[in-house]
Homo-oligomer: A and B are copies of this chain.
Amino acid sequence: MDFKTDFIPLTVQPQEIEAYSFNIITEELGPHPFTEEQYPVVQRVIHASADFDLGLSMVFHRDAVRAGIEAIRAGKNVYADVQMIQSGISKPRIEKFGGDVRVYISDADVAAEAKQHNLTRAIIATRKAVAEQPDGIFVIGNAPTALLELIRLIKIGEARPSLVIGMPVGFVSAAESKDELAKLIDGDVPFITNIGRKGGSPVSVAAMNAISLMAERG
């Protein structure tokens, strides 16, 4: 079946298309620096972005994938910085283990507190999530201030995430916030991030979904 010249036959199942895409990715990517455990995450990020450079810019804390799998199985909540991430994450695979996918950036109390303190809503939403579950899973794909605040809370000992997926996109502070996260490489907080401006909701979702798939499959 030649997908490239004949389009998708309408009856092809999404799983087949995904498998076919994954083969293309592996073939075109060639040799890479990722472990067997990390590669499915990278592969899914490339699948979501069609961007090999972005995939190759990824940085994994040594415990990231294993810790993420264990956190999902332990029923930890997943805290997203924006609605688009909450929409994209495969919720059944989180919920079946008892976890919930939550986002607080649009909450009225968050908006009010942000206004009162003249801070971004992303910062206040991060504090609310950390207060609720300091060892939750945090997925940040948009707001550098959310990631910077989470790093600050980690450093002062208030947050101890089971996993941080921090891949905000953008021109102001996104790359810098990820550099700060990458500096925690010798610490004991598991994280997944990438170097540079690129990133965003779909790739953060892709990384999360890759790990929840591993949690489910065992």
Cα separation A119 to B10 with both chains bound (whole Å): 6
Contact A25 B171 (CB under 8 A): yes
Q: How large is the interface on A (under 10, 10 to 19, 20 to 34, 35 or more residues)?
A: 35 or more
Chain B residues with CB under 8 Å of A205's CB are: 84
Chain A, range 173-200, C-beta contacts under 8 Å to B: 173-174, 176-177, 196-200
> Per a CB cutoff under 8 Å, which of B7, B8, B173 touches A8?
B173
Cα separation A120 to B88 with both chains bound (whole Å): 19
Interface readout for A107-128 with B: 1 if CB under 8 Å, 0 if not?
0000000000011100100000
The segment out of A44-52, A71-79, A156-164, A209-217 that lies at the interface is A44-52
- Smallest CB separation, A36 vs chain B (Å): 22
> Per a CB cutoff under 8 Å, which of B8, B84, B123, B170 touches A172?
B8
User: Taking A7-B176, A123-B10, A145-B10 as contacts, is the C-beta distance between A169 and B201 under 8 angstroms?
Assistant: no
Interface readout for A61-94 with B: 1 if CB under 8 Å, 0 if not?
0000000000000000000000110111000000
Contact B50 A170 (CB under 8 A): yes
Interface readout for A1-35 with B: 1 if CB under 8 Å, 0 if not?
00110011011001001001100110000000000
Cα separation A121 to B14 with both chains bound (whole Å): 10
Contact B87 A120 (CB under 8 A): no
A59 an interface residue at 8 Å Cβ cutoff? no
Contact B49 A145 (CB under 8 A): no
Cα separation A17 to B170 with both chains bound (whole Å): 10
Cα separation A11 to B83 with both chains bound (whole Å): 23
Cα separation A196 to B52 with both chains bound (whole Å): 13
Chain B residues with CB under 8 Å of A136's CB are: none
Chain B residues with CB under 8 Å of A173's CB are: 3, 7-8, 17
Interface residues of A (CB under 8 A from B): 3-4, 7-8, 10-11, 14, 17, 20-21, 24-25, 47-51, 83-84, 86-88, 118-120, 123, 144-145, 148, 169-174, 176-177, 196-202, 205
